[in-house]
Amino acid sequence: MVYVRQEKLPNLKQYKYSSVDHSLTSKYILKPFYNNVVIKCFPTTMAPNLITLTGFSFVIANLLTLLWYNPTLDQDCPPWVYYSWAAGLLLYQTFDAVDGTQARRTRQSGPLGELFDHGVDACNTALEVLIFAGSQNMGQSWKTVATLFASLMTFYVQTWDEYHTKTLTFGVVNGPVEGILILVGVYAFTGFIGGAHFWQQSLLATFGVPQLSFLPDFVYNLSFTDWYLVQGSIVLVLNTLESARNVIKARRARGDRSRYALVGLGPFFITWGFIVLYLALQPNILHCHLVPFTLFCGLVNAYSVGQMITAHLVKLDFPYWNVLVVPLSLGVIDSFGPVLLKHSPIPGIGWPSALGDGVYQVAFMFCMLGMAVGVYGSFVVDVIVTICDYLDIWCLTIKHPYVEGQEESTASKQLEPNGKKTS
């Protein structure tokens, strides 16, 4: 399948990366450290995308230790596991930040770098949700699903914002900087305190706050994890509203129909409507096989995000269609038939399930995961190869190393002694 037509490729030459980072932590602490210390650890022969991919390998290592020690997301791990998660995530953040500095340092900046960087970040989002759920002993539950929804929506909305405004905007407090540092602290403290069970106790009771008469029992008994979900919900709403304001403002400045852009959020909510329905109709998947299903959801979101980034780079129309929603919708339809047969007031409405709720349903879910791997993998390979061929570059190595003074000598050869260009 061809994802980028040849007539759209010249738009790659017009690409110019634009970002605004309002984070004070990034400005005064992290960037000086990255630019003056960390960048010196990488040779100029190392491609920026290879730095990005190397950083992602630390997250993969974290996922493997999670699957070994806590595959059900509700067990305590040895303290060193939590420390390794903190170290791995911090290294991922460092490598992910340094790749841009390396690109400017080696004169390798370009559209492929943004696509590759965002693609890796999109894959990392779902994996980090699983690791965080394991650090909180959330288990295979709706709390983990809610965390996954918030994380994927944050990434989707940020990319949707960039597509319309042409600028990647980070707030004073944002996920890639402060959010990751908070997670690093949570992982490290979990190892120090002796396990994830700590987060399941009441926050107010732990800090010795007395239960006041007007405070309901369920509020007083909210655990650390529950309060995290409350805080995350508030931040999600605020960030979404801010991104919507940015998009409307940018489109109005260009004279476009501003509110129509909000339709671009529709595919995400439609997809998640099917996800919630499927899990509600198939509790076996929710409570016993949520880890592979989370990977499937992450790839669905990564595919949507990847299409948006590609459309942004080559100036395509906004991508509303995601083929990976098709098998998910079929699973919902198949599971909904028996519910209608059982509860419909009109006899005969409904249909028997072809998959049931046992081994065939589990096999279908893994088939969806396999399809997601295949579709997203083919998308990544096709787009990367297309861009590399057109721009005459390589993805993970530097094809044309920058030589200092080369541009000046080339320009001087094109000038006559009187300063006019030669024919």
Active site residues: 118
Q: Which residues make beta-bridge pairs with 202?
A: 223
3-state secondary structure of 168: strand
Dump the DSSP string for 250-296.
HHHHHTS-TGGGGGGGHHHHHHHHHHHHHHHH-HHHHHHSHHHHHHH
Rounded to whole angstroms, the Cα distance separating 94 from 38 reads: 8
CB 165 within 8 A of CB 250: yes
Rounded to whole angstroms, the Cα distance separating 3 from 190 reads: 44
Task: Write the single-letter amino acid at 400.
Answer: H
Rounded to whole angstroms, the Cα distance separating 271 from 329 reads: 9
Task: Write the single-letter amino acid at 215.
Answer: L
Rounded to whole angstroms, the Cα distance separating 192 from 83 reads: 8
Rounded to whole angstroms, the Cα distance separating 4 from 203 reads: 51
Q: Which tokens is 282 given?
A: 């198939």
Angle at 326 between CA 374 and CA 60, to 5 degrees: 40
What's the per-residue H, E or C state across 325-393? HHHHHHHHHHHHHHHHHHHCCCCCCCCCCCCCCCHHHHHHHHHHHHHHHHHHHHHHHHHHHHHHHHHCC
The dihedral through the CA atoms of 34, 37, 41, 46 has a sign that is positive
Rounded to whole angstroms, the Cα distance separating 292 from 362 reads: 10
At 202, phi and psi to the nearest 5? -65, 130
